[in-house]
Amino acid sequence: MKNHMNRTAGLKRRSFLKFGLYSSASLMALGAGFRPAWAAVDLSGREMVFASWGGSYQAAQEAAYCAPFMEATGATVVQDGPMSGSKLRTMVEAGEPIWDTVDVTDTFLFANEDLFEDLDFDIIDASELDQDYVHPKGIGCIVWSYNIGYNTEVVGDNVPQSWADVFDVEKFPGKRALRDRVYPMMEIALMADGVAPDDLYPLDIDRAFAKLDTIKDHVIWYSSNSVSQQLFVDQEVGVGVILNGRAFDVNRKGAAVEINWNQNIRSIDYLVIPKGAPNTEVAQHFMNATADADNQALMANTLAYAPVNPAAFAKVDADVLPWLATSEENQAKGFLIRADYWRDNLEALTERWTEWKLT
């Protein structure tokens, strides 16, 4: 049996109670009276490492999920990240994962199920969740979307209405921010080339790369969603791809950043446990805190990512609802990414993406 002691010693630890602007609201919500069953578990003196995507997103998760969990159970949650698929795979294949709970996209989960532990649903109560977001190896935590983003101070009244506009360097001169990842860029490139969302799958990969060739010299590629926010805020780009919650975050902070819901691509983030993680029991109790309706609503109100617990919607602020990817109007303008397609094609197409970027 491998010795997992001191695995977290080398982590870049942030203070366990450093939750920025969101912590007090989270703790007050926990103490509002009713204490759910997950809050009765005593995990005093025990620890787990949570890895996510950094920036405002992980700060919101610290407040909405981690703070109530620590306050209620006595456990300690150490923050790490940002999430990296290659780093996660290396950890698991070496038999020495230091992450106990990880936030991953649906496409990554479906394509890498072998990296994760089967969940124990005798510990995890997923009964209140929308069952479309429950997987044997993960539970959904948010629904979000890739959107057409733009800075109004750059584009003025001529705002992009489609992915074709984002690819139009004459109509929208200058650099554009695009995600440095094969998904969703294949879908986006095909829609920019005139393919209707209903006709996307199976993806015409040659056509997608040919379309990307047309703007390759006009792109700032980003691999971190925090970087995407900065690109728009600093006006390094006028148009591009941004997550709805990241746009909401900077918009509420006063930036002239807006999104268009046309052709939005919805996706789901799941919480998973890497195979061989040292603190799986604590991690599974933690998942109950993330599924809690109050905690999910706090997450939605902070960053406009939609809950996967239907009971949370009644607790979401009215001015946040129009920003949610699963609102009736926004959902009708987009589609859910086909994670099953990427399960079969992610590895090969990621290799081709890397080769294309180097040419």
- pLDDT single digits (tens) 1-30: 333 333 333 443 333 233 333 444 444 444
Q: Which two tokens stand for residue 154?
A: 């750059």
State the distance between the two ends of the chain, measured CA to CA, in whole angstroms: 45
The burial class, CB within 10 Å (0-12 / 13-18 / 19+), for 232 is: buried
φ and ψ of 102, to 5 deg: -130, 140
The burial class, CB within 10 Å (0-12 / 13-18 / 19+), for 354 is: exposed
Identify whether the C-beta of residue 228 lies closer than 8 Å to the C-beta of residue 222: yes
User: Given this model, what pLDDT does residue 3 score?
Assistant: 37
Q: Which two tokens stand for residue 330?
A: 């926004």
158 pLDDT more than 60: yes
Residue identified by tokens 């306050």 is: 71
Separation between Cα atoms, residue 114 and residue 323, nearest integer Å: 34
Count of CB atoms within 10 A of residue 31's CB? 10
Stretch 274-295: mean pLDDT: 97
pLDDT in tens, 214-258: 999 999 999 999 999 999 999 999 999 999 999 999 999 999 999
Stretch 262-266: mean pLDDT: 98
Considering only CA atoms, give the Rg of the chain: 20
pLDDT in tens, 108-150: 999 999 999 999 999 999 999 999 899 999 999 999 999 999 9
pLDDT cut 70: percent of the chain above it:
90
**Better-predicted residue by pLDDT, 9 or 184:** 184
User: Given this model, what pLDDT does residue 36 score?
Assistant: 81
- Taking alpha carbons only, the member of 182, 178, 204, 181 closest to residue 191 is 204
User: Given this model, what pLDDT does residue 180 score?
Assistant: 96
- Taking alpha carbons only, the member of 197, 185, 164 closest to residue 107 is 185
pLDDT in tens, 338-352: 999 999 999 999 999
pTM over 0.95: no
pLDDT cut 90: percent of the chain above it:
87
Separation between Cα atoms, residue 213 and residue 295, nearest integer Å: 43
- Taking alpha carbons only, the member of 108, 170, 176 closest to residue 346 is 108
pLDDT in tens, 44-77: 999 999 999 998 899 999 999 999 999 999 999 9
Instruction: Report the chain's mean pLDDT, rounded to a whole number.
Output: 91
Distances (CA, A) of 225 to 121, 143, 217, 243: 32, 16, 21, 8
Cα of 257 vs its chain's centroid, Å: 19
Separation between Cα atoms, residue 222 and residue 95, nearest integer Å: 30
Per-residue pLDDT band for 40 (boundaries 50, 70, 90) equals: confident
User: Given this model, what pLDDT does residue 34 score?
Assistant: 56
pLDDT in tens, 289-341: 999 999 999 999 999 999 999 999 999 999 999 999 999 999 999 999 999 99
Per-residue pLDDT band for 35 (boundaries 50, 70, 90) equals: low
